[in-house]
Structure 1
């Protein structure tokens, strides 16, 4: 089983609720995992409401930290309260990016193309840094998939920023 990085967009009101209602957050994420992200939220399910980086989340975190990115797009910034959550939260509590952090990240991503993200880095660097999934990097896996997720995240972050949305970030 793989560890996957995921995002769901939250309105400012939904973020306020998420900060105080861990059961509601769990319902949102369970809905996203089941493909019904609108369940328990103020908006109907839309394909642009959630995104998954698959197993590229840790590589994205490593590569963005390496170039001094202003926001942790891979893990989020603020931990949200949680009450367990079984399998959904098996890798820790959900985290979020505020609307301001989403705007900052979108601007930084727009200024940092995929080529710059991976410039001077290769699979061996990720393996040495113990970046998940280490075995893939040890086998010399290409960074193309990581770049593809990074470039797909840009319009996702831009749309969230344009709508004034926050992002819920979690690993499952």
Structure 2
């Protein structure tokens, strides 16, 4: 399971709201046409998404923390994709999430990182035995990508689609 994200222009947002079936096309391209490749996601947290959520939310369960919404926030939209439907974060929510992420830094998350707690909470993808190496090589770069993605979307007044694939 990996988390991908795509920023939406105002036109794309209107299209998604008018016809939620366009969500799959925006995220995955035209899968019926074997000559068309799947578009590269603008955000791909790979398998780090669950651990990032845990570090941002402080729990594996649902959280109202705006920073945690960067990973599992938004409203369901479009068709079920196997790991739940894609989610849409509107422009205002993107601004709130970006501001919440700006209040954090990698050192804050490093302090929150506890491999034993992640293992006990059964945080995907598991195998949290390498400790600091897991954080520095896996989670810190993913957090930086997440922050850049939201910062850019907020600066351009864009909505965001997220999906676990």
Q: Please confirm whether the aligned pair reaches a TM-score higher than 0.5, indicating the same fold.
A: yes
The one of 95, 98, 107 equivalent to 2:90 is 98
2:43 alignment counterpart: 51
The unaligned stretches of length 5 or more in structure 1 are 38-48
Which structure 2 residues correspond to residues 15-26 of structure 1 after superposition, within 5 A? 15-26=13-24
**Separation in 1 of the partners of 2:30 and 2:91?**
20
The unaligned stretches of length 5 or more in structure 2 are 32-36
Deviations 1:42-82 (A, max 9, x none): xxxxxxx7110010010111111119732411122211132
**Separation in 1 of the partners of 2:115 and 2:140?**
13
**Separation in 1 of the partners of 2:13 and 2:103?**
27
Deviations 1:106-134 (A, max 9, x none): 11111100110231422111111111012
2:25 alignment counterpart: 27
Deviations 1:14-52 (A, max 9, x none): 223223423211111113994536xxxxxxxxxxx7110
8 Å CA contact 1:11, 1:165 repeated in 2:
yes
- State the TM-score, normalizing by the size of structure 2: 0.81
**Separation in 2 of the partners of 1:130 and 1:158?**
30
SS of structure 1 residue aligned to 2:6: strand
Q: What is the RMSD computed on CA atoms of the aligned residues? A: 2.4
The one of 139, 149, 164 equivalent to 2:157 is 164
1:137 maps onto 2:140 in alignment = no
2:53 alignment counterpart: 61
Aligned pair count reads 153
2:34 alignment counterpart: none
Deviations 1:82-117 (A, max 9, x none): 2x4xxxx11110002111111111111111001102
1:121 alignment counterpart: 113
